[in-house]
Amino acid sequence: MIYSPEDYLMLSGIQHFCFCKRQWGLIHIEQQWSDNLLTVEGDILHKNVHDIGFDEKRGDKIVVRGMAINSAELGVSGVCDVVEFMRSEDGVSIFGREGKYKVIPVEYKRGKPKENDADRLQLAAQAMCLEEMLCCKIEKGFLYYGEIRRREEIVFDDEIRQKTVSMIKEMHGYFERGYTPKTKRTKSCNACSLKDICLPGLQKNISAGKYIRERLDETE
């Protein structure tokens, strides 16, 4: 299936979806948002990465920061923190540059590696966008973790690619129906930026947006 740009979902939503499908629905379908410490720290780290500069050459490597990416096949769009272009005979031509380059996405994260697949799936989706845009094959990428100051190599094998495609399909399914998934309360709720909005609505089995509107009506 080929998606139109107006139907693209945000790549950053993969983080929310892996953390809690309901949180993703509240943010991306119902447009609810609430900052907490974790999300603010994450935003600052990304802002620093994107502010450093756009394009930098280091020997055989070109580093591009804040590159806008999308995929019509996946129906997603977003921004790559860093894309490294490594000079290589097996690579692809890059507009305005001599030679051929291998393409390597690098995503910056606060904290340390997570137990869930969120970071790996987000990076794999970025790689698949870059493959579609640059007509190339990307074998691996890196996740850089601010807390441990280390890069982790991620290989884009068939398993991670299939998982990424089926998760994004599921997201599109919810989005098209305008349905925010219901879920049970878990220990993740304590660290959730939307718990004050979500939990009362969850208990009453109505949408968070409807719950807030009802509370506002009561105070008028």
Binding site for ligand SF4 (CB under 6 A): 20, 22-23, 26, 183, 185, 188-189, 192, 194-195, 198-199, 202
Question: CA quadruple 78, 34, 45, 167: dihedral positive or negative?
Answer: negative
The residue (of 26 and 124) whose beta carbon lies closer to ligand SF4 is: 26
Q: How far is the CB of 20 from ligand SF4 (least distance, A)?
A: 3
Q: How far is the CB of 22 from ligand SF4 (least distance, A)?
A: 4
- What crossing angle do the helices spanning 158-177 and 118-134 adopt, rounded to 10°? 90
Q: How far is the CB of 149 from ligand SF4 (least distance, A)?
A: 28
Q: How far is the CB of 124 from ligand SF4 (least distance, A)?
A: 23
The residue (of 81 and 119) whose beta carbon lies closer to ligand SF4 is: 119
Q: How far is the CB of 201 from ligand SF4 (least distance, A)?
A: 8
Q: How far is the CB of 10 from ligand SF4 (least distance, A)?
A: 17
The residue (of 12 and 183) whose beta carbon lies closer to ligand SF4 is: 183
Question: CA quadruple 73, 19, 65, 34: dihedral positive or negative?
Answer: positive
The residue (of 74 and 202) whose beta carbon lies closer to ligand SF4 is: 202
Q: Tell me how far apart the alpha carbons of residues 4 and 219 are, in angstroms, rounded to a whole number.
A: 41
The residue (of 49 and 197) whose beta carbon lies closer to ligand SF4 is: 197
Q: Tell me how far apart the alpha carbons of residues 54 and 78 are, in angstroms, rounded to a whole number.
A: 16
Tell the burial category of 190 from Cβ atoms under 10 Å away from its Cβ (0-12, 13-18, 19+).
exposed
CA distance from start to end of the chain: 47
Residue 82 has φ and ψ, to the nearest 5°, of -140, 140
Render 8-37 in DSSP notation, one character per residue.
Answer: PEETTHHHHHHH-HHHHHHHHTS------H
The residue (of 4 and 205) whose beta carbon lies closer to ligand SF4 is: 205
Residue 198 has φ and ψ, to the nearest 5°, of -75, -50
